[in-house]
Amino acid sequence: MTWSTADIPDLTGRRALVTGATSGLGYETALELLRRGADVLIAARNPRKAEQASRQLAQAAGREPVVVELDLADLTSVEKAADAVTKTYDKLDLLVNNAGVMATPYRQTVDGFELQIGTNHLGHFALTGRLLGLLLKAPDPRVVTVSSFMHKTVRGITQEDFRPPASGYRKWDAYGKSKLANLLFMLELDRRARAAGVSLLSAGAHPGYASTHLQAAGPELAGQEYMARLMGIGNRLFAQSAAAGAWPSLYAATKPDLQPGSYAGPGFFEYRGAPKLVPPTRTAQDPELAKRLWGWSIEATGVNPTLTVPR
């Protein structure tokens, strides 16, 4: 049976936080969650874009989201955002770690990490760790981490990849490693949740080839306007819509009988179409590598995720 957004159950009474929800996959994810009755927080770096997206979401869904200011490339911003959410709400049912950057020129985060691994993995690792207490107050909490089929292009990751030298930097290799890190984290969070005996469900998703601004953002940062335009043409000719690209995330976020540690992607060669469960690479499923990454991430962020149900 083919899954569609019509299969999303009523989410009334559930609270969700979606990162990177001002456009693209995050926007479409937030929109469907709102339409199904969830209370949605949209976390974004740019306040102006966030307020604009909030108005558009309210008009499209008939319900207004709450804006949370969050810059995943700044661990102090992550701490402030998590503290604000924790002080305001009594529980969080769903966290969708969606935001990301792709194939950027060499840049560093505020804390000195390579921009892609710092934003895509370390920012989300710290955010999830700081929100675990709030998540564990919900009856059936879920964390969905968005990866990419580009995780298949790399064979591993080391601690040195957090702060690589600018010389020899390869943007697509760095992106693939950040997406591998997303999956290693997702599966390790699942293992630790089950070992701790808590009800948290950790799952992953990837959008296939979806038309979003993500493809053009890297060339724009590098000042390559021609490449940004070329990416836009490719999106129009070959990519599925951002709404369709969000289906795997929504599947992972809302499917009632989803198994812990599941990874969803488009059904047609993981390129486009209705979502289904797809296999991560053997490297992504390596528990020893995941444990090492977890330790490196604690050291880098100063956040040690604790899977203990709050009293």
Catalytic residues: 175
Instruction: Give the 3-state secondary structure of residue 176.
Output: helix
Contacts of 254 (CB under 8 A, 6+ apart): 8, 9, 11, 33, 36
Dihedral angle, C-alpha 102, 191, 280, 237, nearest 10 °: -40
Please name which of 3, 37, 1 lies closest in space to residue 266, comparing C-alpha atoms: 3
Burial of 63 (0-12, 13-18, 19+ CB in 10 A): middle
Beta bridge partners of 69: 44
Classify each residue of 200-234 as buried b or exposed e, where b means 16 or more C-beta atoms within 10 Å of its C-beta: bbbbbbbbbbbbbbbbbbbbebbeeeebbeebeee
Long-range CB contacts for residues 218-222, cutoff 8 Å, separation at least 24: 218/101, 218/102, 218/103, 218/104, 218/105, 218/171, 221/104, 221/105, 221/107, 222/104, 222/105
